[in-house]
Amino acid sequence: MTAIPETRYASTREGDIAYQVLGEGPIDLLLGSGIGSHLDMFWEVPAAARFFQGLASFSRLIMLDPRGLGLSDPAPYAALSTWEDWTEDIRTVLDAVGSQRAVIFAEREFAYPAMLFAAACPERTAALILSRPRARTLAAADYPEGMPPEAFEQFIRLAQSRWGTAEGAAVAMPSLAHDPASLSLYARISRASSTPKRAAEHLRYWMQIDVRAYLPAIHVPTLIFAPEASSSLPLFRYVAEHISGARLVTLPGADVSLFCGATETVLGEAEEFLTGARHHVESDRVLATVLFTDLVKSTERAAELGDRRYRDLLEQHHATVRRELARFGGKEMNTTGDGFFASFEGPARAIRCAVAIREALRGIGLESRAGLHTGECERVNGELGGMAVHIGARVCALAGAEQVLVTSTVKDLVTGSGIRFEDYGSHTLKGVPGEWRLFALGG
């Protein structure tokens, strides 16, 4: 694990704000996140550590836990009546590190105080970088893009009930839905950052703020990142359209965190925005067929066999799947417990490989399921990500025992191959917009 920078504290009238400093670049860059922030534990996430180090390669990176989160003191929400209490955190930390002027890089809820600080203190704000910013969340007569009150209340209730759970982490970062180890880690970080009640209070407070009137007063260079598959994309576009000269960059997928998926793209865009050049190479995009496999009733088999015998069986499973991937030209991308994620250049070979895996696993007493999708993927350092990967994982999750499910895209691409399908109906894939027509491999 990467060495964690020393955590220090800056004192405000309401309590202490935790911060860390990394790098010695010519640009001061203050980074703040939303709920779930925890400076120390973020370093346990390899992607987060790489992200911080990437930013620090061209800046002096100043990271803080906003009040009420992580290592900072709790926030007295009921006593807050002005936004100055929140922007004071930024000013206080900048003063503590001797920064006269800094770029403010804000994720999610921290975008509110960042935008207000930029409007009120332009002399101390060199530029703004915002990820998933909202000027207002709730709908209004002049803001139909917003969320209806009943949907808002349901969102708060669900957020509180899922806080600190793997289910909640999967909702926030759907690209990790097939990675239980990462979901477990993010759930643990969430629990360390805040309790469910405090997280819900934090969300409720900021999601009722309206900073639309302040957007025209922001006159610093502004870069905005937004996930293209997010249902809130119109709200992010609104911010970009109402800050003069702001540039919007859409990223694949629907993840709330910049640590997932398009990290290299974000680093490259941010570096070029601030320095005029980029050393972080933007990822390639490539058409690929993704295959996800998973064992059925693995928990029951583990209980039946005991840990040691089941571990031996899993080793057989891994060897079997890898043998079939090699036979059909598949590339193993990731392995999570009893599941595999692989990619293929062509869909027909991927389907035949899925069938071969199913038959081979049946021979050692294991039941499996598989899901396939063909689409444009983001390729970074040999790894695949993006919405196509997320769709493949969701399709696999809908498959039953011994079933191979594919999207209509895959079915259409193998027309004339002799592969037969049965209509499996239209389905909603969690975290993916629209209805998806799925097909089961015929006998």
Output the pLDDT for position 292: 95
Final residue in a domain of this structure, among 245, 275, 305? 275
Residue 249: domain span:
8-275
* Contact criterion met (CB below 8 Å) for 330 and 355: no
- Do 254 and 386 fall into the same domain? no
Burial class (CB in 10 A: 0-12, 13-18, 19+), 141: exposed
Supply the pLDDT for residue 334: 86
Q: How far apart are CA 377 and CA 151, in angstroms?
A: 32
Same domain for 319 and 424, yes or no, is yes
DSSP string, 374-438: EEEEEEETTEEESHHHHHHHHHHHH--TT-EEEEHHHHHHTTTS---EEEEEEEEPTTS-SEEEE
Cβ neighbours of residue 308 closer than 8 Å, sequence gap 6 or more: none
For residues 382 and 239, membership in a common domain is answered with: no
CATH number at residue 334: 3.30.70.1230
How many whole angstroms separate alpha carbon 405 and alpha carbon 421? 9
Residue 145 sits in the same domain as residue 241: yes
**Are residues 203 and 318 both part of a single domain?**
no
Instruction: Give pLDDT, residue 280.
Output: 56
| Whether residue 266 is found in the same domain as residue 312 | no
pLDDT in tens, 240-285: 999 999 999 988 777 888 777 677 788 889 999 999 886 755 556 6
CATH code where residue 49 lies: 3.40.50.1820
Indicate whether 180 pLDDT > 80. Answer: no
In a domain, 177, yes or no: yes
Q: Tell me 123's DSSP state.
A: G
Largest Cα–Cα separation, the chain: 72
Q: Does some domain include residue 1?
A: no
- Domain end position, chosen among 275, 304, 334: 275
Q: What is the CA radius of gyration of the chain?
A: 23
Identify the H or E element spanning 195. none
- Residue ending a domain, choose from 275, 297, 329: 275
Question: 175 with 77, same domain?
Answer: yes
Whether the Cβ atoms of residue 209 and residue 52 lie closer than 8 Å to each other:
no
* Tens of pLDDT, residues 388-434: 888 999 999 999 999 999 999 899 888 877 899 999 999 988 777 77
CA 65, distance to chain mean position in Å, is 19
Instruction: Tell me if 377 is assigned to some domain.
Output: yes
Q: How many domains does the chain contain in total?
A: 2
Whether 227 and 358 map to the same domain: the answer is no
Residue 309 domain flag: yes
Sign of CA dihedral 51, 52, 58, 63: positive
The torsion defined by the Cα of 113, 102, 222 and 190, in degrees rounded to 10, comes to: -50
Give 129's strand partners: 105, 223
pLDDT band at 127 (very low <50, low <70, confident <90, very high): very high
State whether 271 and 288 are in the same domain. Answer: no
Q: Is the pTM of this model over 0.85?
A: no
